[in-house]
């Protein structure tokens, strides 16, 4: 089984500390994509994630569909969220290892996608290294600066452990593939119990979790050592 990397959208939430405890129990380092508006309310929870060794990425401020807003408004959302993330890292006394971004809803901007990618490139966002993801469809994302995903269990559509287990089972072929996988899950809207159950389901299937920093395109040797040392 290939290595899987946990990314968590719509962070931080008020219940993030309990989820951090579950991640610690399973020895998983996660990449939390943070909304600026949530950081305004839960900066302490985000700092706890950084202090626990997890990574923070940018998920824009207001969780808009990029194709529904002006490029200038998108850039402002990104910049405001960047400032908030930098402040969290500074308060935690931790050097930020990389600038990472995910579009809300995976919406890259439609016909204006190239303009949105320019915004990300100008700000130095770094994508997963395309050569490490061995799926034909991933070539569509090669060269983009944002983080897409390969496994989505649609946790946002289920509210029971049984429903989540069914969705994870539906992804069994992908989880058992030879490619590295980027897992999509969510913080906001999920209970700590559902979050922990997701980790349990993956662990029960023998999923080997890796550090998302291993995937960062252009990561230097010191950054990769940080991933190996976690």
The CATH number of the domain holding residue 62 is 3.20.20.370
Domain housing 147? 3-229
CA neighbours within 13 Å on the CB side: how many for 192?
A: 12
pLDDT at 222 over 50: no
- Of the chain, the percentage scoring pLDDT greater than 90 comes to 85
Confidence (pTM):
0.94
Mean pLDDT of the chain: 93
Instruction: State the total domains in the chain.
Output: 1
- Of the chain, the percentage scoring pLDDT greater than 70 comes to 94
3-state secondary structure of 15: coil
C-alpha 23/C-alpha 28 separation (Å) is 5
What pLDDT score does 8 carry? Answer: 98
Long-range contacts of 223-230 (CB under 8 A, 24+ apart): 223/97, 223/98, 226/97, 227/29, 230/29, 230/53
pLDDT at 47 over 60: yes
């Amino acid at each position: 089984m290939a290595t899987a990397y946990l990314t968590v959208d719509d962070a931080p939430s008020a219940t993030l500390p309990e989820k951090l405890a579950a991640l610690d129990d399973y020895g998983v380092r996660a990449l939390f994509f943070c909304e600026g508006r949530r950081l305004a309310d839960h900066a302490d929870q985000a700092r706890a994630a950084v202090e626990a060794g997890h990574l923070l990425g940018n998920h824009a401020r207001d969780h808009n569909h990029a194709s529904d807003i002006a490029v200038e408004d998108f850039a402002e959302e990104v910049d405001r969220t960047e400032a908030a993330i930098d402040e969290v890292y500074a308060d935690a006394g931790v050097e930020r290892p990389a600038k990472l971004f995910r579009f809300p809803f995976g919406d890259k901007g439609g016909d204006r996608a190239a303009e949105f990618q320019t915004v990300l490139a100008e700000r130095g966002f770094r994508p997963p290294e395309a050569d490490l993801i061995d799926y034909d469809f991933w070539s569509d994302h090669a060269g983009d600066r944002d983080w897409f995903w390969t496994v989505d269990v649609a946790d946002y559509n289920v509210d029971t452990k049984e429903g989540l287990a069914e969705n994870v089972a539906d992804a069994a072929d992908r989880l058992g593939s030879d490619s590295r996988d980027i897992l999509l899950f969510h913080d906001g809207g999920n209970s700590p119990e559902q979050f922990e159950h997701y980790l349990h389901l993956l662990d029960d299937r023998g999923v080997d979790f890796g550090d998302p920093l291993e995937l960062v395109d252009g990561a230097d040797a010191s950054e990769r050592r940080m991933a190996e040392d976690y």
